[in-house]
């Protein structure tokens, strides 16, 4: 998952970068690996700062001060294609036509044929393994086809229509054209979120506009009238106003249900559904199932304990429903981020222990019910069950607000390999054994769907592919899944990272093996970027 953001201020003389950095910090939970901002200043000049690292590490007063201009695009990255190399940090830039900046959340599923098209038909060079760079170039190619000296809104809608007909998969995108404006569009199923909001300027004479993955950014930055970009819709914002157009038909909204389970912040509203309310409902319905399963197994529970952070909301409701005490038995180290989106199993495993500490006084001699939002690889549950037992829990029961995850995600969540999923090839008894629990209780899929859908009954479908293996876009064959598995399983990815490091650092930064990332701007970078009119603010990581 990634976070995307676009901001256009009514007054072009006010710099936008500080506010974009602020907004990106509110999207940090969507991607912790890399982040970046590109702004557009006088004469359509772009200024960029992007690198591997968290928002607070990459952006400080001096890097922000160098990002000039009243409109810009930002991104936080959780890699789901390509590598972890900082050359794949977003936003991406391409000079032709018109100067385009691009940020993407999601994942394409037809990259091989698009790459072939780029090579054989468009003759455009793609310099990284990122599907987002590819998507940008498909967009650029479609803009090029208009053949105009100066482009207008109609041309942009036509170009995005072309992108949508060529690209398969999940994509919520924010783009910026030099000296023109900012643009957002969403795939025909609206799998990934993006919305927009506005804010009157202090003198009331005009409006600032924001695009963001989640409404929390708009709330916190003082924007109102949040509206989702519709599936298959494109929105263009210039200083003359807002234009919207449905560029794909048919378009059927089918957001990824995992946004509600885990990814989004609870205080966001996505496609008209409060994430917070949906998690409360997940806890309520799960309580009924837990009650039934406990009775079937002749078990009783003394205390309900959430697994911080995401499951807290659901766990509290579940405890209330069952009239059981709710206790914060695991204390979270607030300085450790989300473990699921960390790269590599070793790092994830180590960080569960760094992040959570079990308080014996809540566990000793008790039957405890641990509630989590989901069990994916089982990294978290395996560790916390052991921790609970280490501090004296009698019986440990684990309840998950989501059903067992047995299929890979191909739309922008990094779970590419079936073998890494703890529920793959296991029934519930075997899953309990694998994570060391006495019993495990999973939410049913209909209950999960209803927890979200009852908050907006106009949504007729969700992408639930990780639970069912039915991929909403179609076109995901067993052969494709095996291809992705081969490319991105934990082991194979390490290899990919090493391979791409050399190529990208050589070509882009003029330094072998990513030295640029350690030692600041190599002189050749300045030369390269001057030639494309892009001003870099490099940060080490």
Ligand X SMILES: NC(=O)CC[C@H](N)C(=O)O
Q: Which of 2, 40, 167, 173 is catalytic?
A: 2
49: annotated active-site residue: no
Q: How near is the Cβ of 309 to ligand PRP at its closest, in Å?
A: 4
Q: Which two tokens stand for residue 376?
A: 């994916």
What are the distances in angstroms from CA 285 to CA 137, 320, 449?
Answer: 45, 12, 11
Nearer to ligand PRP, 192 or 338 (CB): 338
Q: Is 158 annotated as a binding residue?
A: no
132 binds ligand X (CB under 6 A): yes
Binding partner of residue 379 among ligand X, ligand PRP, Mg ion, none, CB under 5 to 8 Å per kind? ligand PRP
Binding partner of residue 52 among Mg ion, ligand X, ligand PRP, none, CB under 5 to 8 Å per kind? none
372 binds ligand PRP (CB under 6 A): yes
Query: Can you tell me which of 374, 417, 504, 537 binds ligand PRP, judged by CB under 6 A?
Result: 374
- What residues from 337 to 356 belong to the interface with ligand PRP (CB under 6 A)? 338-341
**Rg of the chain (C-alpha set):** 23
What residues pair up with 256 in beta bridges, in sequence order? 463
Binding partner of residue 375 among ligand PRP, ligand X, Mg ion, none, CB under 5 to 8 Å per kind? ligand PRP
What are the distances in angstroms from CA 162 to CA 6, 131, 199, 232?
Answer: 22, 17, 32, 12
Binding partner of residue 505 among ligand PRP, ligand X, Mg ion, none, CB under 5 to 8 Å per kind? none
Q: How near is the Cβ of 314 to ligand PRP at its closest, in Å?
A: 10
DSSP assignment of 328-380 equals: --EEE-TTS--STTSSSHHHHHHHHHHHEEE-HHHHTT-EEEEEES--SSSHH
Query: Can you tell me which of 53, 69, 79, 283 binds ligand X, judged by CB under 6 A?
Result: 79
Q: Cα separation of 406 and 276, whole Å?
A: 25
Q: Cα separation of 112 and 131, whole Å?
A: 10
- What residues from 286 to 315 belong to the interface with ligand PRP (CB under 6 A)? 307-310
Nearer to ligand X, 104 or 539 (CB): 104
80 binds ligand PRP (CB under 6 A): no
Nearest to 314 by CA among 330, 326, 299: 326
Q: Which two tokens stand for residue 126?
A: 């793609």
On the CB side of 467, how many CA atoms lie within 13 Å of its CA? 22
- CB-based contacts of 102, cutoff 8 Å, min separation 6: 73, 90, 91, 92, 93, 94, 132, 135, 136, 139, 173, 174, 175, 176
Q: How near is the Cβ of 301 to ligand PRP at its closest, in Å?
A: 19
78 binds ligand X (CB under 6 A): yes
Nearest to 1 by CA among 25, 30, 23, 36: 30
Handedness of CA 262, 449, 381, 321 (dihedral sign): positive
Q: How near is the Cβ of 173 to ligand X at its closest, in Å?
A: 10
Query: Can you tell me which of 39, 105, 311, 339 binds ligand X, judged by CB under 6 A?
Result: 105
Query: Can you tell me which of 32, 39, 52, 80 binds ligand X, judged by CB under 6 A?
Result: 80
Nearer to Mg ion, 215 or 310 (CB): 310
- Beta pairing class for 46-52 and 34-40: antiparallel
Q: Cα separation of 211 and 435, whole Å?
A: 41
Q: Is 379 annotated as a binding residue?
A: no
Q: How near is the Cβ of 80 to ligand X at its closest, in Å?
A: 4
What residues pair up with 38 in beta bridges, in sequence order? 48, 73
Q: How near is the Cβ of 311 to ligand PRP at its closest, in Å?
A: 6
Closest-CB residue for Mg ion?
Answer: 310
Q: Print the binding letters for residues 306-325 with Mg ion: x by CB under 5 A, - otherwise.
A: ----x---------------
Note the residues at the interface with ligand X (CB under 6 A). Answer: 1-2, 77-82, 88, 104-107, 130-132, 412
Residues at the binding site for Mg(2+) are 310, 372-373
What residues are annotated to the active site? Answer: 2
Note the residues at the interface with ligand PRP (CB under 6 A). Answer: 262, 307-310, 338-341, 372-381
């Amino acid at each position: 998952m990634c976070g995307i953001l676009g901001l256009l201020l009514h007054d072009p003389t006010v710099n936008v970068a500080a506010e974009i950095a602020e907004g990106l910090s509110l999207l940090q939970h969507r991607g912790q690996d890399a982040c970046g901002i590109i702004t557009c200043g006088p004469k359509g000049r772009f200024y960029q700062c992007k690198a591997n690292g968290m928002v607070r590490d990459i952006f400080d007063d001096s890097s922000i001060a160098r990002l000039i201009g009243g409109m810009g695009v930002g991104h936080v990255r959780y890699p789901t294609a390509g590598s972890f190399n900082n050359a794949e940090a977003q936003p991406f830039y391409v000079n032709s036509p018109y100067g385009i900046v691009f940020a993407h959340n999601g994942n394409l599923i037809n990259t091989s044929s698009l790459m072939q098209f780029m090579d054989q038909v468009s003759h455009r060079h793609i310099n990284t393994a990122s599907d987002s760079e590819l998507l940008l170039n498909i967009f650029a190619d479609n803009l090029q086809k208009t053949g105009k000296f100066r482009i207008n809104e109609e041309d942009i809608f036509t170009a995005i229509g072309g992108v949508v007909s060529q690209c398969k998969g999940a994509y919520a995108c924010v783009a910026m054209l030099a000296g023109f404006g900012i643009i957002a569009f969403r795939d025909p199923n609206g799998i990934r979120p993006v919305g927009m909001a506005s804010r009157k300027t202090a003198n009331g004479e005009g409006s600032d506009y924001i695009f963001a993955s989640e409404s929390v950014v708009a709330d916190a930055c003082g924007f109102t009238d949040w509206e989702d970009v519709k599936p298959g819709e494109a929105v263009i914002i210039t200083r003359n106003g807002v234009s919207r157009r449905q560029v794909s038909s048919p378009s059927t909204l089918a957001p990824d249900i995992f946004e509600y389970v885990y990814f989004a912040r609870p205080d966001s509203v996505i496609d008209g559904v409060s994430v917070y309310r949906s998690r409360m409902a997940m806890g309520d319905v799960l309580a009924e199932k837990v009650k039934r399963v406990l009775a079937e197994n002749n078990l009783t529970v003394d205390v309900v304990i959430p697994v911080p952070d995401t499951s807290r909301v659901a766990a509290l409701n579940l405890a209330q429903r069952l009239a059981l005490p709710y206790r914060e038995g695991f204390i979270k180290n607030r300085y450790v981020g989300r473990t699921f989106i960390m790269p590599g199993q070793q790092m994830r495993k180590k960080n569960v222990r760094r992040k959570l500490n079990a308080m014996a006084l809540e566990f000793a001699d008790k039957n405890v019910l641990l509630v989590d939002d989901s069990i994916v690889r089982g990294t978290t549950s395996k560790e916390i069950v052991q921790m609970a037992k280490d501090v004296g829990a009698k019986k440990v029961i684990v309840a998950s607000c989501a059903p067992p995850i047995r299929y890979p995600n191909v739309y922008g969540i990094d779970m590419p390999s079936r073998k890494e999923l703890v529920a793959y090839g296991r029934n519930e008894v075997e899953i309990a054994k694998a994570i060391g629990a006495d019993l495990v209780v999973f939410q049913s899929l209909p209950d999960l769907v209803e927890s979200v859908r009852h908050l907006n009954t106009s949504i007729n479908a969700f992408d639930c592919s990780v639970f069912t293996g039915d991929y909403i876009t179609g076109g995901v064959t067993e052969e494709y899944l095996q291809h992705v598995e081969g490319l991105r399983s934990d082991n194979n990815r390490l290899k990919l990272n090493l391979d791409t490091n050399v190529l990208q650092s050589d070509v882009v930064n003029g330094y072998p093996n990513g030295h640029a990332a350690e030692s600041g701007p190599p002189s050749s970078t300045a030369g390269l970027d001057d030639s494309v009119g892009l001003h870099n603010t490099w940060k080490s990581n």
